[in-house]
Amino acid sequence: MRIDYGETGRVIASLCEGESDEVALMATVVCELHHADDRFDWTGFYRVTEPNLLKIGPYQGGHGCLVIPFSRGVCGAAARTGEVQLVEDVEAFPGHIACSSTTRSEIVLPVWDGAGGVLGVLDIDSDAPGAFGPADSEGLSAILTHVFGRVNAT
């Protein structure tokens, strides 16, 4: 099973219609994404709960580490730089945090709110090496912008 980002984006948009609560939106996005693609072995959000600190939010899959400083891991790099992290081989990523021993590749995207602030990051792990590509980055970014662009919108 391979995700159709257009179709999944439409389903998520209709489920999230009129909602602006961050956790409710995150839980809904994670559920729809996680069940849409066999590559997605762990799907979850980390939220910025204080300056330079991420804490786990809604997720699906095995155990997720609870706290990640901006200075550490793939998630920290995405929050710190504001740039999508496409990791073909987690063993080759300096400072990768292994919450699961089976993860081989990963994609982490910053989540921007309507005021241009970083709310957190979306992290998707795969047990397959090199599982993610530019199409995933584009498809996921479009969904995140549509859903979270209304949070804190001025």
- Binding residue for ligand SME, selected from 12, 99, 119, 151, defined by CB under 6 A: 99
Is 96 a binder of ligand SME (CB under 6 A)? yes
- Binding residue for ligand SME, selected from 22, 41, 125, 136, defined by CB under 6 A: 125
Length of the chain: 154
What DSSP designation does 16 have? Answer: T
Is 64 a binder of ligand SME (CB under 6 A)? yes
Which residue, 36 or 124, is less far from ligand SME as judged by CB?
124
Assess contact for 93 and 108: CB atoms under 8 A: no
Which residue, 99 or 143, is less far from ligand SME as judged by CB?
99
Which has the closest alpha carbon to 44: 122, 99, 136? 122
Is 42 a binder of ligand SME (CB under 6 A)? yes
Gap between the Cα atoms of 41 and 74, Å rounded: 16
Gap between the Cα atoms of 110 and 120, Å rounded: 6
- Name the residues that contact ligand SME, by CB under 6 A: 42, 64-65, 68, 73-75, 96-97, 99, 103, 106, 123, 125
